[in-house]
Amino acid sequence: MTQNKIDSNWWRGAVIYQVYPRSFMDMNGDGIGDLPGIEHKLKHIASLGADAVWISPFFKSPMKDFGYDISDYREVDPIFGHIDDFKRILKRAHQLNLKVIIDEVWSHTSDQHLWFHESRHSRDNAKHDWYVWADPKPDGTPPNNWLSYFGGPAWTWDARREQYYLHHFLSSQPSLNLWCPAVQHEIFEVAKYWLDMGVDGFRLDVIHSYQHDPELRDNPVRGPNDPVPSDMPLSNPMSYQRRVHSMCTPYVISYTEKLRAFISQWDNRCLLGEAGGDDSEAVAASYVQTDKRLHMAYSFGLLGSRISHHDVVSTVQRVEDKLGDGWLCWATSNHDTVRAVSRMHAPEHLQYEASLLIMALGLSLRGSYCMYQGEELGLPQAKLSFEDLRDPYDISLYPNHAGRDGARTPLPWDSKKPHGGFSFGQEPWIKFWDSHRDLAVSVQTSDPHSTLNHYRKFIQFRKDTPTLWDGDIHLHKTSDPIVAWTRSKEDHEILCVFNMSQDVSNWAVSVDGDYSALNGISHGSAFDLQHNKVYFKPYGYIFLERKRNKS
């Protein structure tokens, strides 16, 4: 951030780059991205102007959910390298002025974790209550109607205890019982291990699932007037329920305050929560208010939608209605969703323009911003056949949902090398999509008009403009396809206007003021100062600024 930004608030307005290790860079030639690969490419992330890097799980795991099923929170999985490799990432990142955020999965573990082996052994062992166990109903069926994200009941029978255990995801991902004081203590010890090593913060996976209703009451049916979930497709049967008892309970809020108090013992650290649920904007807002909870959270409003006029306007308005004194971290893509360019439904010849609009829109919202690897290249979703899928979630919901694997294909570094320069050895763990080759870093670096160089320029503009990374926001009432908001700080205003359509459009500037266009930042647009009107090409956007008199 700018030099006068207080280091303890480095996260406020930060641009965070997400690395999915398996698909980022493979240095040992086994076809799987690794920690040395991340270290090797940190300079690329720094060159974008990012403030931090978030690394998805690299801990020891049987990889049934590709690292989000952890069997040891303190060990690096051998496919990614060694703990010394991670320490080198920390050192090199800090040399490049990059903060390091690691992905902590504290809602559940792998069923191969030693904690679960002990817990399932009997009902009276030392860890008998470290996971969520429940007796069956009198007819032997699960204790309630809770469903798993991966389809089917959220309960699996264990013959040793003659009880069911809870899992919100795969049956091999049993839910930790975060009501248990011993579990809470052990989670804090895990956090201490990494904080003492020097990590700058944690991204908290599915924090909305941390604490369930202790009475295990059934979830009610989702009614026609209830929010449509944005963290899953409607083809998932879990979408039939309002998840008010299985997750998203008010108890999680008090737990976030415990986490914040604990991490505050270390200087300049932050907590970023992933907040899903039936109304993920409301959930995310509740986790970041009062300056005693998480530093920031992100919702699924711009992740699970088309990124249309309606989706953007309704999501931003819901956030601003509920956020209060909290702080959001926006994201338009990640490892769990269809890539943003493809969710724009732009024709192929306009995908470049759509990628720039997504960049300008996401980076001009009030909040921090998380960009997913490849977003800076404008990568569209890879189109994989069923035989190419690796993700159990995509496989279980095929063909109505195949969004995760298509966003996890190897990053193209060099258009002239095998597998796009991702790996110099074996075939990648998941198919490299050859259509990404023309968007490789090697191609875009030398092109001043490339998506990559637009990102570099825009992020620098954001850094140099406190109004964008820390100013207020006012959403204007507009008609489809135009989205507009004003960012303001002290005597400076920036009017941000976007054409969300693949058609030409125009907008009469509906706010008073002597505006001038920010040339070199706007794209595919023209401002008619005499008539106070903006003309847009497909997916064009414009930034108009003015100085105002302080009242």
pLDDT digits (tens, 9 = 90+) for 177-199: 999 999 999 999 999 999 999 99
On the question of a cis peptide bond just before residue 466, with omega within 30 degrees of 0, the verdict is no
Choosing from 274, 311, 375, 493, the catalytic residue is: 274
Q: Can you give the pLDDT at residue 10?
A: 96
Amino acid identity for residue 508 in this structure:
A
- pLDDT over 60 (residue 125): yes
* Local structure of 203: helix, strand or coil: strand
- pLDDT over 60 (residue 293): yes
pLDDT (mean) for 149-157? 94
Nearest to 163, CA basis, from 137, 181, 145, 182: 137
Number of Cβ within a 10 Å radius of residue 384: 19
Q: How far is CA 242 from CA 189, 200, 227, 409, in A?
A: 34, 35, 9, 33
Q: Can you give the pLDDT at residue 3?
A: 40
3-state secondary structure 195-249: HHHCCCEEEECCHHHCCCCCCCCCCCECCCCCCCCCCCCCCCHHHHECCCCCCCC
Match 């979830």 to its residue by tokens.
219
Residue 52's beta-bridge partner residues?
Answer: 16, 99
Residue 315 CA, distance from chain mean position: 16
User: For domain 7-110+178-463, is the CATH number 3.20.20.80?
Assistant: yes
Rg of the chain (C-alpha set): 23
- pLDDT over 60 (residue 151): yes
Choosing from 205, 278, 281, 394, the catalytic residue is: 205
CA distance 187 to 22: 25
Q: Can you give the pLDDT at residue 304?
A: 78
Average per-residue pLDDT for the chain: 94
Structural tokens at position 308: 């249309």
Which of these ranges, 232-236, 399-403, 486-490, 542-546, has the smallest mean pLDDT? 399-403
Amino acid identity for residue 85 in this structure:
D
Q: How would residue 395 be classed by pLDDT, with cut points 50, 70 and 90?
A: confident
Q: In percent, how much of the chain has pLDDT > 90?
A: 87
Q: Can you give the pLDDT at residue 4?
A: 42
pLDDT (mean) for 405-431? 95
CA distance 412 to 442: 9
205 catalytic? Reply is yes
Q: Can you give the pLDDT at residue 550?
A: 57
Q: In percent, how much of the chain has pLDDT > 70?
A: 98
Q: How would residue 401 be classed by pLDDT, with cut points 50, 70 and 90?
A: low
DSSP state of 387: G
DSSP state of 435: G
39 catalytic? Reply is no
pLDDT (mean) for 193-219? 98
What's the pTM value of the predicted model, to 2 decimals? 0.96
| Consecutive H or E run containing 56 | none
Q: Can you give the pLDDT at residue 126?
A: 97
What phi and psi, each to the nearest 5 degrees, are found at residue 121? Answer: -70, -40
Specify the length of the chain in residues: 551
User: For domain 472-547, is the CATH number 3.40.50.20?
Assistant: no
Q: How would residue 551 be classed by pLDDT, with cut points 50, 70 and 90?
A: low
Domain boundaries, the chain: 7-110+178-463, 472-547
DSSP state of 83: H
Q: How far is CA 435 from CA 291, 323, 408, 411, 443, in A?
A: 45, 40, 14, 12, 13
